């Protein structure tokens, strides 16, 4: 996939600078809604943004699709950071003045018990095994689930019939109706520690923490034949100066470096590739 970003970046930088001069007056704290996969990265970006103390309300994190629905139903935010471009674009269709811009990329990984013997070459065959339980986030509510369904679609070219079989057998154990996280552990850790699944398709950015928290797991970045190249996008929902300057900081070299420290990929495709943790 070729990602044509630099011309758009120049337009966004100009638009934000015009709307938000350097000497802005501090207004009410701005509200950030962000995808759960961005939690640690966004907290670091907030800390390093250089914005005055009191600029930020407590960020709200969750599945991007669910957050978008909450915003559509009337919840208020100044900036929405999604794990895809689809959710911001849906908000823009309702409010054409919303500014939508990509700000990060990711990769998809197959995380599994080491006993499965997964390799980049046998991923689809092992996923299709009747004794292998494979989990994904919930499609629709969470872009991670939508990306996983797209991975299954790409598997069709490698194994005819694979897409339908994988979509039918995939478990969606996260969310209010899913598994209850174990005390002191996140949902993905609880998935494996509670033996609810054998494999998970998720973002590569989150795998180092998962492997550190659960012994006996391996993470394999999907081969290009299966990769769907996740792109994360902002929806700038208000003209709040602090929110616009924070979005600009995320797009800056300093902001992009922070995102890369947390496992994300640069928008222009430069920089090191994500490696197997």
Q: 72-129, pLDDT tens digit by residue?
A: 999 999 999 999 999 999 999 988 999 999 999 999 999 999 999 999 999 999 999 9
117 class by beta-carbon count within 10 Å (0-12 exposed, 13-18 middle, 19+ buried)? exposed
Is the pLDDT at 22 greater than 80? The verdict is no
User: Is the CB of residue 107 less than 8 Å from the CB of residue 274?
Assistant: yes
Distance, in Å, from the CA atom of 128 to the CA atom of 138, rounded to the nearest integer, reads 19
Q: Average pLDDT in the 64-79 region? A: 96
In the structure encoding, which two tokens stand for residue 243, read together?
A: 């929110």
Between 187 and 24, residue with greater pLDDT: 187
Is the pLDDT at 189 greater than 90? The verdict is yes
Q: Average pLDDT in the 166-190 region? A: 92
Distance, in Å, from the CA atom of 132 to the CA atom of 113, rounded to the nearest integer, reads 10
Is the pLDDT at 25 greater than 50? The verdict is no
Coil vs helix vs strand at 262:
coil
Calculate the average pLDDT of the chain: 89
């Amino acid at each position: 996939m070729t990602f044509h970003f630099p011309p758009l970046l120049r337009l966004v930088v100009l638009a934000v600078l015009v709307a938000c001069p350097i000497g802005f007056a501090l207004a009410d704290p701005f509200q950030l809604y962000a995808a759960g996969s961005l939690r640690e990265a966004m907290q670091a970006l907030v800390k390093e943004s250089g914005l005055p103390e009191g600029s930020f309300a407590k960020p709200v994190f969750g599945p991007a699709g669910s957050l978008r629905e909450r915003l559509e139903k009337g919840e208020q935010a100044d900036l929405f950071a999604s794990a895809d471009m689809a959710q911001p674009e849906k908000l823009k269709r309702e409010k054409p003045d919303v500014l939508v811009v990509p700000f990060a990329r990711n990769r998809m990984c197959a995380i599994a018990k080491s006993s499965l013997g997964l390799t980049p070459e046998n991923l689809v065959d092992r996923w299709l095994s009747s004794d292998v339980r494979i989990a994904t986030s919930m499609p629709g509510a969470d872009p991670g689930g939508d990306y996983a369904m797209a991975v299954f679609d790409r598997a069709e070219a490698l194994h005819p019939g694979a897409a339908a079989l994988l979509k039918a057998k995939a478990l969606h154990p996260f969310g209010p109706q899913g598994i209850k996280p174990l005390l002191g552990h996140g949902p993905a850790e609880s998935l494996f520690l509670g033996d609810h699944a054998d494999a998970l398709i998720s973002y590569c950015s989150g795998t180092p923490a998962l492997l550190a928290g659960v012994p006996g797991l391996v993470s394999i970045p999907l081969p290009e034949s299966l990769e769907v190249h996740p792109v994360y996008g902002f929806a700038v929902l208000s003209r709040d100066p602090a929110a616009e300057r924070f979005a600009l900081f995320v797009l800056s070299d300093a902001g992009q470096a922070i995102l890369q420290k947390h496992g994300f990929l640069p928008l222009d495709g430069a920089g090191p590739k994500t490696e197997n943790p």
